[in-house]
Every structure is written in C-alpha cells, then in structure tokens.
Chains A and B, each alone.
Chain A
Amino acid sequence: MKQIARRMTVAGWFSVAGIFVVLVVAFFAPLLIANDPMETDPLRRLSKAEGFPLGCDQLGQCVYSRLIYGARLSLIIGFSSRLTALLIGLAVGLAAGYFGGWLDWFLMRLVDMFLAFPSLLLAIAVSMVLGSGIGTVIFALAVVGWAEMARIIRSAALELRSAEYVIAARTLGASHLRIILTHILPNCLPLITVIFTMGMATAVLSEASLSFLGLGVDPSLPTWGGMVAAGKDYMLRRPELVVYPGACIAFLVIVFNVFGDELRDILDPSRKGHW
C-alpha cells in the first residue's frame, strides 16, 4: 500500500479522488438527493421547477436525484459482476495454468469460445433467458467477462508453476490445493488487482450500454445509461438530459481506467504502457 502511494502520479491521485467521490455519493445517496428519484409528475415534464437542481426529465422526475442514485446502481452492478467474473476466472485460470495438460487444453478452448462471442449480444441473450432484473444483468456481464480474466490468470499461474518455491513446496509434500492457495494465488494478487480495476471500467460501460438499449435493469430504475436513452428523444430541446448522465458514465469509466493504468505501472512494471 505504502509503495503504491509513494509511486502514484498526479493523474493517479486524481483518479483515486474521483473513485472516492463516486463511492461517497453512492453510499450516502439517500442523504444527498433533493427529491424522490422515482416520483413522476406530468406537470413538471421537462421543466426547471424550483427545488429541482438540474430540472426535470420527460416524466417529471428529478434529474439530479436520479443521477445520484445512478451512481449506486453503476457501482453495485459493476462491482458484483466483476467479482463474479473474477471468481470464475480465478477457478478456471488457476486450474488450467497450474495443472496444465488436457485440463488446460479443455478449459482454454472454453475460454476461446466465450471470447469469440460478440460480448454485447451474448449479454443480451443471457438476460433474455433469465428475464430482466439486477441479478440478471450482473450475471450476464459476468458470463461475458470471466474468459478474459481466466486467460490472464492462467498465464500467470503457468509461470509460477515452475517457480523454485513451488517445486520446493511440492517436494515437501504440500497438496495441490495448498500450493495454489498459499503460493500461487498470493503471487497473482497484484495482477488480480489490476485486471479487476480495469474490468470495473468495462463493466460500468457494458451496463450503461445494456441500459441504453433498454435491455438492462428495469427502465424505471435510475441508471445513467437508461437516462441517456430516455433523454435522446428530447435531445433537441434539452441536450443536458443526455449530457449529464453521459458525462457521469464517462467520468466513472475514466477514473477506473486511469487508476487501473496507474496500478499496473506500479505493480506490474513489465507491462508498462500496455493495456
């Protein structure tokens, strides 16, 4: 931690501050809102009524309050879907890289397969099978995201497998599970941190895209992607209905990308400058 803090650049600190702000906003959302984000009123439609800091949308809902709650949904869906993807990716990647052989061959063909699908369409297909809901979106994004993680973790495990301390532990009679958990996994942690942070950016973006297409969570819930989609029909009169939520998405994705970049440069200098 100390090492990370010492080597962080200015851009890195800005991204940390940005993530922190969004976290605080999401956590204290109920205290920060001005109005009920779900309350509609046809009389307030597209107006700039008093007590509504950023005006009202096409249903008369408070744009500001919806933006605040949108942070919550973005983070919850992004984080849970990435965590699920990471757990699957870890299990598959560690098993494939550590044991090698036919298991590796089989698991990697599985990974190839999932990487080959057009991710957005696969996510849509999964959510169609399961029906709409927050859990569905999380699962659909995890189905789309685990393969990339598995591939990266596998190559790390493959390298560590022939490390001297692993061979030593093996000679001392440690079980495979013990070696994976106490030797391989801890050594993969920096890499995992990096791909998780980068993955958050992708997950937030994918969730927004799904919501934009109307295929994410329930469209009445305040998601940034959904707000852009609803606002685009009124773009000529009120461009800010698109710009505000759009800027929120871009901001969250940028801070995660920059922070992930920064972490990679610090934790994994050999890959500096790559994605």
Chain B
Amino acid sequence: MLEFTLRRIVATIPVLLGILIVAFTVLYLIPGDPAQTVAGPRADAETLARIRSEMGLDQPLLTRFWSYLSKVAGGDLGDSVVTGKPVLESLTEKLPYTLKLASLAMLVSIFAGVIMGIVSAITQGRWLDRLCTVFSVAGISIPVFLSGLVFLYVFAVKLRWFPTSGFRAGDSLLVFVLPAFTLGIRSAAFLARIVRSSMIEVLNQDFIRTARAKGLSRTRILFRHGLVNALVPVVTVIGLDLSSYLNGSVIVETIFDLPGIGRFAMDAILQRDYPIIQGVVLLGAFVFIMVNLCIDLFYAWINPKIRDEMMGKSAG
C-alpha cells in the first residue's frame, strides 16, 4: 500500500507540471501586451520598456516559465491587473462562499441521489423506477442556468421564501439554499443513475442470495450487504461532482449574485483580468487532481485487487 501510495503521488507530478505549462502558455498566447495593460494606453515607449523589464517580459520564454513555476510553488499566483491585489489573497477570501455552496449542493446530491437510486433499484421496471428515470434524465439535461432562473422566479420572486439575490449579512445560509439546490439536483440525477445500476448489480450477486437463504430480513440485506457495496462507485461520482461544482458555480453564483469563486472568475473574464482567470483555472485543476488522488487511494485501500491492477497499468 505504501509503495502504491508513493507511486500514485509521483504520477500526479507530470500532470501538475503539464497544467502549469498550459496555464502559462494560454496567458502567453492571449492577444495584447500585458505591459501595455499595466502602463495604460497613453504610456510612451520608454515607460513600456521599463515596465516590461520589471515584469520580466523581456526574458527568454524558458526563463519566464521557470520564474513563473517558482512563484506558483511559493504560493504567488500573481496580482490582479485591475485592482493590483494578490490573486491568492482574493481566492482565499472568496473560497468560503463557494465551499459552503458546494458542500450544501453535495448534501442535496448525496441525499436525493442515493435515495432515488435505491428506490429505483428495488422497484426496478415498475412505475416508481420509471418516474425516477424520467427525473434523472431531465435533471442532467436541463441547463443549470435555466433551473436556477426558474427556482429564482418561483421560490424567491413569486413565493418569497428566499432572498432574491445578493449576499446580505444576516441572511446566512438561507442565501445558499436555492443555488445549492440548483447545483445539487443536477448531480443528484447523475448519482441516482449510478446508485441504481450498481445496486442492481450488487443485488444479483451470490452473497446476497446467501444472505437471503440465511433468512436475514430484507431491509438488513438491503442496507448491510447491498448498499455498502453499491456505494463504492459512488465515491467516483462524488469526486467528479466536486470539480463540476466549480463550473456550475460560475453560472449559479452569477445568477444568484453570490460573491464566491465562480462569480469572481466571471467578473475577471469580463474585465479580461488574466492572472485571476489563470489562478481560478489552476485552483480547479489542482482540486480535481487531489480529489482523484484521494479517490484512487481510497479504492486501493478498500480493494487490493484494484491496487494490483493500477500498479500493473502504471508499470506497463
């Protein structure tokens, strides 16, 4: 297990490096001169040259990449072009909002998704199963911005159960409910599908028949033997959800006017504040890699067979 863990951690290094290369290249390829942006449109050539050498823009590409790498490694993601504030500082400021949103959404997703999946699996082929299937197809097909707007219109504007938009102190968690549902329902629909199929698979296994033959009660079999095993692939889905929430938060936080990472990224995009966009993309990729690392380690830990398979793959 230790060898596997170490190998798996080492395997993330080339991916992380590649991501930094892409992030660096995109910033490099974006049209427009960064020095010009900093200096303003009416700067003379001398000022431009000074700023360029201050920013290291006159250095060769590889040198620039190296200094970029060492900066990122030291936690320096650059400064906002618009406000001059360090990107990392803004990110840590905005992160709690998005984290709150994501954890609430995940709660909705796991709760609704697992229940729907189980109900679907045990009523397989009957109308309740059909209903759940229709719901999950709709759930993954309806765009987040549409369901968000509909929720906003129905629950905030018409019924006035929730604040319409804008983060006000005192509204606390209530502000997060609608956006979290918007995001959570979509991933619940995904999760329901996975839980259903893995539950059906598990319930057809020999050990379930044995448990039944032993005379165990239906609920006991369902929860002790069925669900525990069916939940294993669910871990993967939850991991994927985490990264899809970052995408979703760009849209949802814009609609519901929450001051999180997604909204921050969207504002930066509209203002062409590249260091911020780069910072958010890096953060997203980093979170994705770390979450997947944890998932793989989790799988390897609960199932040695998977561990051997992965080892075989990474060696060959």
Contacts and interface: CB of A to CB of B under 8 A. Distances in A.
Interface of A: 100-101, 109-110, 112-113, 115-122, 124-126, 128-129, 131, 201, 205, 208-209, 212-213, 215, 225, 228-229, 232, 235-236, 239, 242-243, 246, 249-250, 253-254, 257-258, 261, 272-275
Given A116-B285, A121-B247, 16 more contacts: A112-B289, A113-B18, A116-B243, A117-B281, A118-B243, A118-B247, A121-B281, A121-B284, A125-B277, A205-B143, A213-B254, A213-B269, A228-B143, A235-B153, A242-B150, A246-B143
B311 interface: no
A258 B149 CA distance: 25
Interface stretch (B60-68, B100-108, B188-196): B188-196
A121 B265 contact: yes
Give the contact-size bracket for chain B: 35 or more
Contact of B194 (A120, A201, A275): A275
29 contacts: A112-B289, A113-B19, A116-B19, A116-B284, A116-B292, A117-B19, A118-B246, A118-B280, A118-B288, A119-B247, A120-B247, A121-B250, A121-B277, A122-B281, A129-B26, A129-B29, A131-B31, A209-B144, A228-B143, A228-B149, A235-B149, A236-B157, A242-B146, A243-B150, A246-B146, A246-B150, A250-B138, A272-B197, A274-B193
Judged by DSSP, the binding face of B is helix
Nearest to B248: A120
Contacts of B145: 208-209, 212, 225, 228-229
B232 interface: no
Contacts, number: 135
A215 to B, nearest CB: 7
A124 B269 contact: yes
A41 to B, nearest CB: 26
Nearest to A123: B247
B312 interface: no
Interface in B234-287: 243, 246-247, 250-251, 254-255, 265-266, 269, 272, 277, 280-281, 284-285
A112 B11 CA distance: 11
Interface in B140-190: 140-146, 149-150, 153, 157, 190
B84 interface: no
A272 B190 CA distance: 15
A238 to B, nearest CB: 11
Given A201-B141, A250-B143, A110 B18 contact: yes
Contact of A273 (B150, B193, B266): B193
B175 to A, nearest CB: 19
A128 B272 contact: yes
Given A121-B284, A274-B197, A275-B194, A113 B157 contact: no
B30 interface: yes
B155 to A, nearest CB: 13
A113 B286 CA distance: 10
A253 B149 contact: no
A257 B31 contact: no
A225 B140 CA distance: 16
Given A121-B265, A121-B281, A273-B196, A246 B149 contact: yes
B203 to A, nearest CB: 13
A101 B246 CA distance: 34
A139 to B, nearest CB: 13
A241 to B, nearest CB: 11
Nearest to A158: B313
Contacts of B26: 125-126, 129
A236 B145 CA distance: 16
B22 A113 contact: yes
A250 to B, nearest CB: 5
A142 B12 CA distance: 24
Nearest to A245: B146
Contacts of A235: 149, 153
Contacts of A121: 246-247, 250, 265, 277, 280-281, 284
A105 to B, nearest CB: 8
B112 interface: no
A228 B146 contact: yes
B74 interface: no
B15 interface: yes
B1 interface: no
A228 B142 CA distance: 13
B32 to A, nearest CB: 10
Contact of B200 (A113, A201, A236, A273): A273
A229 B14 CA distance: 39
B240 to A, nearest CB: 10
Nearest to B270: A214
B281 A118 contact: yes
A78 B150 CA distance: 25
A120 B144 CA distance: 13
B295 to A, nearest CB: 13
A120 B277 CA distance: 12
Interface centre among B18, B30, B145, B285 (most CB of A within 10 A): B145
Nearest to A202: B140
Contacts of A125: 26, 277, 281
A257 B141 contact: yes
